[in-house]
């Protein structure tokens, strides 16, 4: 029972951490992952270098928004890029139709990298 509690705790902590691109060590972070369900919201995403410094000149696109973290990958919502956000991030807008954890799958063109950097951020709709 203790092992199960530790596993669940580790999984919950990992859900809030930025996900790294395994090949290149880049991560994506979101300024605020809390959103109100059913309300149009904007959030800003940043690309961080392997040393956790913001990457200047990265172009981020969102490729998918779904509820995979809560076991419902078929539950999707539209997402669109809106503008450059604060402090070099890029803003996206979405309306999350229900409460829960939503994964935003991201791809970025990073200066100096030959291929795209991929990862996710998790949004928490309440």
Q: Identify the pLDDT of residue 23.
A: 53
As a whole number of angstroms, the distance between CA 80 and CA 63 comes to: 9
Q: Identify the pLDDT of residue 89.
A: 87
CA-based nearest residue to 42, from 83, 77, 87, 76: 83
Q: Identify the pLDDT of residue 87.
A: 66
pLDDT tens digit string along 56-78? 889 998 889 999 999 999 999 99
Q: Identify the pLDDT of residue 63.
A: 86
Neighbours of 20 (CB within 10 A): 17
Mean pLDDT by 10 residues, the chain (126 residues): 38 46 78 93 93 90 93 95 75 95 95 92 96
**Entry pTM:** 0.77
Q: Identify the pLDDT of residue 13.
A: 42
Q: Identify the pLDDT of residue 85.
A: 57
């Amino acid at each position: 029972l203790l092992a199960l509690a530790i596993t669940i705790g580790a999984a919950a902590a990992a859900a809030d951490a930025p996900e790294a691109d395994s090949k290149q060590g880049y991560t994506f972070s979101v300024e605020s992952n809390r959103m109100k369900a059913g309300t149009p919201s904007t959030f800003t995403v940043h690309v961080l270098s392997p040393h956790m410094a913001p990457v200047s000149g990265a172009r981020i696109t969102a490729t998918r928004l779904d509820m995979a973290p809560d076991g419902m990958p078929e539950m999707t919502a539209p997402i669109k890029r809106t503008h450059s956000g604060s402090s070099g991030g890029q803003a996206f807008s979405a309306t999350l139709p229900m409460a829960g954890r939503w994964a935003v799958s991201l791809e970025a063109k990073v200066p100096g990298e030959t291929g795209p950097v991929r990862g996710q951020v998790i949004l928490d709709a309440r």
